[in-house]
Amino acid sequence: MNTAKRQDAEQRRLWLDESQLRYHVDQFERPYRSTVHLGRFLAGLPLHGGEALDIACGAGSNIYYLSHVMPGFHWTGIDLAGDMLFPIAREKFADAGIDVTLVSGDLFELDRVLARQRFDLVISTQTLSWLPDHERALCQALRVTRGWLVVSSLFTELDVDTECLVYDHTIVPELPPYHMNVYSLNRMRSFCEGHGCHEFRSEPFDIDIDLPRPESGGLGSYTERLADGRRLQFTGPVHLPWRFIAARMGD
C-alpha cells in the first residue's frame, strides 16, 4: 500500500472509531461555545437563505443549532461516519420538526456524492486542520460553493504552515495519530482567491469560558488564562489558534 492510501486508511479508522462519536452527540443538549460563535460569525455575513451544506457534519448538531438561530436554509449534512451517527440525528431532527438531508459520504468526493449540487452556504468546522491532504478537501469544498464557504480551523497570521502529528497513548487500543496542522492565513487567502474567491474574511475565536485539563492526561481541549484575561486553548501540549474564515464564491 502506498503512503497516500495508508494515510487515508488510518484516517478512516480514526474517524470511524466509537471513541470519536460522543463529541458529536453531546452538543444536541447544549451547544459548544465554538458553535455559538459560529452562529455569530455567520450573522455578520450577507446571507439570504437557500441551500446549505455542512461538510463532516458529525451527528448534525451544528445544523440543529443553526436551524434555530438562522432559519431560511435547507440543510444537507455529509459525514463519513453517517451510518453510525445519522440514526441519532434523524431522531433529533424529527422531534424538532427540521427538514434536513443527511448523506453518508467522503468529503474528498463531494462532487460525485452530491451529484454536482451547488450550495449558497457551505460550512466545515474543526476538520481542515485534521486532514493529511487539506488542499484536496478545500478544492472540493470551494467547488460545491456558489455563495459563502465558512471554515473553522487552526490558522496563524505568520507566513508559516505547521504539520503536527499527535499520538494519544491514553486510548486503548491506541488509534492512529491525529493531524493537528496550523495553516498560514495569507496562504489560505491566496489559495481561495486562486480558485475563484471574490471576498475573504477572517476572525479569531477566543473562547469565553474556562475549560479544565482532561483528567485522563490525554487529548482534550483546555484553557490557560493570560494576564489580560484572554484564554488560550490547548489539547495535550498543542496550542489551538482557532479562527473562522469565510470565502465568497460566484459572481
CB 153 within 8 A of CB 97: no
Is the pLDDT at 172 greater than 90, yes or no? Answer: no
Query: How many CA atoms within 13 Å lie on the side-chain side of 43?
Result: 11
Is the pLDDT at 14 greater than 70, yes or no? Answer: no
pLDDT at 26: 77
Is the pLDDT at 35 greater than 70, yes or no? Answer: yes
pLDDT at 3: 47
Model confidence at 4, in pLDDT bands (50, 70, 90)? very low
| pTM of the entire predicted model | 0.90
64: left (phi over 0), alpha (psi -120 to 50) or beta: alpha
Model confidence at 251, in pLDDT bands (50, 70, 90)? low
Strand partners, 149: 122, 247
Strands 73-79 and 100-104: parallel
Inter-CA distances, 10 with 7, 15, 85, 176, 194, Å: 5, 9, 20, 6, 31
**pLDDT mean over 24-47:** 90
Q: Which domains does the chain have, with CATH numbers?
A: 3-248 (3.40.50.150)
pLDDT at 176: 79
Separation between Cα atoms, residue 213 and residue 205, nearest integer Å: 19
Is the pLDDT at 171 greater than 60, yes or no? Answer: yes
10 Å CB burial of residue 198 (0-12, 13-18, 19+) is exposed
Separation between Cα atoms, residue 81 and residue 60, nearest integer Å: 11
What is the CB neighbour count within 10 angstroms for residue 237?
Answer: 8
Q: What is the mean pLDDT of the chain?
A: 89
Q: What is the pLDDT of residues 211-240, one digit of tens each?
A: 999 999 999 999 999 999 999 999 999 999
10 Å CB burial of residue 229 (0-12, 13-18, 19+) is exposed
Q: What is the pLDDT of residues 53-103, one digit of tens each?
A: 999 998 899 999 999 999 999 999 999 888 888 888 898 899 999 999 999
pLDDT at 83: 82
pLDDT at 80: 87
Q: What is the pLDDT of residues 101-124, one digit of tens each?
A: 999 999 999 989 998 899 999 999
